């Protein structure tokens, strides 16, 4: 058995027994005329049965995909050009602001001048 089978022999037997019972009950339900119910619940039944047997199909492939996706994302981030630094922008007071700056005993706060 591959390493995906997690259950000991007795556990596997009980699980398979339980699934056999579930399938038998579904068969009875279907025989009772509730075919629709079984048809609707079949995907859930298949998934639950597979996982209960200790099988997780595609798990390795999913993890490999995740690792590859992480690498790609990291490489994309590394390759992406960083945002160009803004050139130092120094505003020169003009007009009334220049006069006000000149006349001010204490110059206005920088935020007001450049704002």
Partner 1 sequence: MRWKLLPARGPAIGWALRRAAPLAAALIAAGALCPAAAEAHGIKGRASLPVPAWLFAWAAAIVLVVSFVLLSAMWSAPRLQEPRERRLCRWPAWLSVPAGAIGLGLFALVLYAGWEGADSAGRNFDPTFIFVVFWVAVPLSSAVLGDWFSAFSPWRALARAGRWLGRRAGVGWRAPLAYPSWLGRWPVVVGLVCFGWVELVYHDHDNTGTLAWLALAYLVLMLAGMAMFGIETWSERGDAFGGYFNLLSRLSVLDARDEALWRRPLLSGAPALPREAGVVALVLAIIGITTFDGASNGVVWNNLQPHVQSVFTGLGLGDTPADEIADSLGLALAIAVVSGFYALGVLGMRSVSRRFTGRQLARSFAHTLIPIAFAYVLAHYFSLLVWQGQGIAALASDPLGRGADLFGTAHWRIHYSFLGSTAIWYVQVVALIAGHVGALALAHDRALATYRSHADAVRSQYWMLVVMVGFTSLGLWLLSAVNT
- Answer yes or no whether residue 93 interacts with partner 1 by CB under 8 A: no
DSSP 8-state symbol, 7: S
Closer residue to partner 1 in complex, CB, 67/99 = 67
Contact between 99 and 92 under an 8 Å Cβ cutoff? The reply is no
- Answer yes or no whether residue 26 interacts with partner 1 by CB under 8 A: yes
- Answer yes or no whether residue 31 interacts with partner 1 by CB under 8 A: no
Contact between 7 and 54 under an 8 Å Cβ cutoff? The reply is yes
Closer residue to partner 1 in complex, CB, 55/114 = 55
CA–CA separation, 112 and 75 (whole Å)? 43
Q: Determine phi and psi for 30, rounding to 5 degrees.
A: -65, -40
Among 1, 31, 34, 78, binds partner 1 (CB under 8 A): 34
- Answer yes or no whether residue 74 interacts with partner 1 by CB under 8 A: no
DSSP E strand stretches across 8-111: none
Q: Provide the CA 103 distance to its chain's centre, in angstroms.
A: 60
Q: Which stretch binds partner 1 (CB under 8 A): 55-63, 80-88, 93-101, 102-110?
A: 55-63
Closer residue to partner 1 in complex, CB, 42/99 = 42
Q: Which stretch binds partner 1 (CB under 8 A): 1-9, 75-83, 85-93, 95-103?
A: 1-9
Polymer length in residues for the chain: 115
């Amino acid at each position: 058995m591959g390493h995906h089978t997690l259950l000991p022999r007795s556990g596997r037997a009980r699980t398979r027994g339980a699934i056999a019972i579930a399938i038998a009950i579904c068969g009875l339900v279907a025989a009772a005329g509730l075919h629709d119910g079984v048809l609707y619940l079949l995907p859930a039944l298949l998934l639950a049965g597979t996982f209960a047997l200790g099988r997780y199909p595609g798990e390795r492939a999913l993890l490999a995909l995740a690792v590859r996706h992480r690498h790609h994302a990291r490489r994309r981030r590394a390759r992406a050009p960083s945002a160009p630094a803004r050139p130092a922008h120094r505003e020169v007071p003009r007009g009334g602001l220049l006069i006000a700056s000149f006349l001010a005993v204490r110059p206005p706060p920088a935020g007001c001048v450049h704002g």
